[in-house]
Amino acid sequence: MTNEAVFTKDLQNKKLNVVRAFDAPLDLVWRAWTESEMLDQWWAPEPYRAETKEMDFREGGRWLYQMVGPEHTEHSSWCKEEFKTIVIPQRITNEVSFCDEEGLTDTDFPVMNWEKNFTGERERTTVNIDIYFNQLTDLEKIVGMGFQEGFTAGLSNLDDYLAAGFKLRKQMKTSNAPRVTTYLNFPGNTEEAFLFYKDVFRGEFTGKKLTRFSDIELPAEVQMKEEDKKLIIHAELTIMGGHVLMATDAPESMGFKLNTGNNMHINVEPESREETERLFNELSAGGKVSMPLSDMFFGAYFAELTDKFGINWMLTYQS
């Protein structure tokens, strides 16, 4: 089944229709269209990129962002989406316009009204978008500006982004059941340590066992020395009583500085995104957050913190 974007002009109703399917579950696709951290990863066609200045995703709120060109100050423009109706996770209507950096509408360009509908079945989601114009000449102007080519490229970016994240998410966790594990960091000798623990506890490698950085597709912003790619990004060893040890390599060459005390965490894997947020908010009260909750390239909604008693925690939600 093709995932290519299908564009249809409805001149009588001054409307463009765009339909695109993605091989990812509805919740993940919905977040990719509604969370600025994810939108910035795919929205703009290369060589442009989107940079969010403001995101207030609610009815009456807006998304204000800049489309930044290769020269950054040159070849860039500001856009905004003002949200009219939101039905989670099914439907969004919003008004879209070009603007200045404060959000003042640029009247030299057409205003568009978008209606986005999301439907999902298992691990496949379809986004159906109707874009309405006040005048037929407005529609033709937007098309003439290269909208179809640019939007097609952006949707392809999203396809790649979702494919990488969802693939890793499925690989790293095969069950949605909540659990608590112990997570360890090593300066480059995770494999040696886990082979030692395997022998001591007569344990078994489980899950994805020993996964190296070279085994996964890393995002462009993750820069690694070639020799470091043989290191372990994820290890999982089940020892006595069914307890699971996990680990990753965190060498100084990658910018880490491990000390006794920051190399061990209690890793909590909640059953929902909402429960992950509740635990993060309550555990971090009075403590120190080293990594705030965010969607990571390895497919998890993830955070690291030290609570007010000095205990290190990881929160990892993978649906």
Q: Which letter does DSSP use for residue 267 in this model?
A: E
Q: What is the separation, in whole angstroms, between the first and last Cα of the chain? A: 24
Tokens representing residue 91 in the block:
């439907």
Q: Is the pLDDT of residue 1 over 50?
A: no
Task: Please check whether residues 24 and 143 belong to one and the same domain.
Answer: yes
Task: Please check whether residues 223 and 247 belong to one and the same domain.
Answer: yes
Q: Which letter does DSSP use for residue 90 in this model?
A: T
How many percent of the chain have pLDDT more than 90? 50
Q: What is the CATH number of the domain that holds 153?
A: 3.30.530.20
Q: Is the pLDDT of residue 141 over 50?
A: yes
| DSSP class per residue in 17-75 | EEEEEESS-HHHHHHHHH-HHHHHHHSSPTT-EEEEEEE--STT-EEEEEEE-TTSSSS
Query: Is the residue at 1 inside a domain?
Result: no
Tokens representing residue 214 in the block:
């070279």
pLDDT value for 176:
60
Mean pLDDT score of the chain: 87
Q: pLDDT tens digit string along 142-164?
A: 999 999 999 999 999 898 888 76
Tokens representing residue 162 in the block:
């979702």
Q: Are strands 312-317 and 62-68 parallel, antiparallel or unpaired?
A: unpaired
Dist. CA 253–CA 224, nearest whole Å: 9
Task: Please check whether residues 255 and 123 belong to one and the same domain.
Answer: no
Q: Are strands 301-306 and 91-99 parallel, antiparallel or unpaired?
A: unpaired
pLDDT value for 126:
96
Query: Contact, 262 vs 183, CB < 8 A?
Result: no
pLDDT value for 165:
61
Tokens representing residue 308 in the block:
């007010």
Length of the chain equals 319
User: In 3D, which of 77, 231, 52 has the Cα closest to residue 146?
Assistant: 77
Task: Please check whether residues 177 and 295 belong to one and the same domain.
Answer: yes
Dist. CA 249–CA 195, nearest whole Å: 14
- Give the residue numbers spanning the domain of 112: 6-171
Task: Please check whether residues 222 and 160 belong to one and the same domain.
Answer: no
Task: Please check whether residues 139 and 22 belong to one and the same domain.
Answer: yes
Q: pLDDT tens digit string along 223-281?
A: 677 888 899 989 999 988 888 999 988 877 766 777 777 788 999 888 888 999 999 99
Task: Please check whether residues 105 and 124 belong to one and the same domain.
Answer: yes
User: In 3D, which of 156, 128, 133, 161 has the Cα closest to residue 145?
Assistant: 133
Dist. CA 239–CA 282, nearest whole Å: 30
Task: Please check whether residues 177 and 163 belong to one and the same domain.
Answer: no
Query: Is the residue at 281 inside a domain?
Result: yes
Order across the sheet with 312-317: list the strands: 204-212, 232-238, 244-249, 179-186, 264-269, 312-317, 301-306, 288-295
Q: Which letter does DSSP use for residue 105 in this model?
A: B
Which residues are within 8 A (CB) of 259 and not within 5 positions of it... i.e. 6 or more apart? none
What average pLDDT does the segment 35-55 reach? 89
Q: What is the CATH number of the domain that holds 305?
A: 3.10.180.10
Please count the CA atoms within 13 angstroms of the CA of 84 that sit on its side-chain side: 10
Which residues are within 8 A (CB) of 17 and not within 5 positions of it... i.e. 6 or more apart? 7, 8, 10, 128, 129, 130, 131
Task: Please check whether residues 102 and 226 belong to one and the same domain.
Answer: no
Dist. CA 25–CA 242, nearest whole Å: 30
Query: Is the residue at 69 inside a domain?
Result: yes
Say what the alpha-carbon torsion angle 208, 250, 290, 258 is, to the nearest 10 degrees.
130
Task: Please check whether residues 166 and 177 belong to one and the same domain.
Answer: no
Task: Please check whether residues 238 and 188 belong to one and the same domain.
Answer: yes
**Domain count across the chain:** 2
Go through 262-284 and write b for each residue having 16 or more CB atoms within 10 A of its CB, e for each that does not.
ebebebbbbeeeeebbebbeebb
